[in-house]
Structure 1
Amino acid sequence: MNIPPSPAAFAFARWCVLTHARPVLVTALRAWGFAQEASALEKAASTGALRPLALDALQAVRRTRRFQPARRDLMGALSALNASATFAGRGDTENAAAMAVGVVVGARSALAWRRPWQHFRWRERRAAIIHAAQQEQSSHKDSGIFSSDLV
């Protein structure tokens, strides 16, 4: 028997996608010359509206010739955003939060390619980015805004 997700679960999953992950990706897209796609993602009001826009932005990145490592990271972040929005629409907080961390890591990696020396110790930086993103999610979840019994 499946227990439907609580309203708090939906709210937290939407926060993970729209407030936590999306701004970092928008910044990375703008930095690499995808301002139109970034503006479209920024204007999306819901996770349902965000999914087709993320796919459109993914197609735009695929069609454009850019620095390959940054392009790969942007495509990964956009794919993760689409998956995160899908999980958020279902109220699946754990998977939405995990994919939102993937969006943050991919977007930060694409931003780091603007200054390639930042990739010298990328494993340590990546671990710090993941830890900071997970800490932000857990502190937001525990802040009392959402119910503590997230399903």
Structure 2
Amino acid sequence: MTRKKRRLYMLLLALAGLGTATALTLTAFDENVAFFFSPSDLVTRPPGDKLVRVGGLVEGGSVTKLDDGVTTNFIITDTAHSVKVSFSGALPDLFREGQGVLAEGRLGPDGTFQAREILARHDENYMPKEVADALKASGEFRPEVPGRPVYGPEGK
């Protein structure tokens, strides 16, 4: 085997290794990436069995605890559409009706969102950017309304 052929084989082997490493990395990212959806997005383009985040406001009067004491059902709305959410576990201390929330999980076959994690706003002036953007797109974002959370300290 000549020196040129040996170099060519080594180069091809290195390229194959790099391609394999890239493919494995992209596969790992695909399993752990969660895209943001508003309730209206879930209605118009369901994500299938992918891990997604749904954000909006917790609808007033919709929070119910099941008899097992662990499972909580509630509705997230962007005022145009709503999605039922079921969560098993401890809710954040700041979780309550009428406030912004972000739920991460999968949409079930019955249309109920099975959340594995719930994130609530951290103070009276904050709403996750994705939730604020979805409310702005629906025309229902009103930072001037007292008691309504806004995104960021200046409401931007």
Query: The TM-score by the shorter chain falls in which range?
Result: under 0.3
Name the one with the larger helix percent.
1
Query: Which has more strand, going by share of residues?
Result: 2
Rg bigger for which structure?
2
Query: TM-score w.r.t. structure 1 length?
Result: 0.26
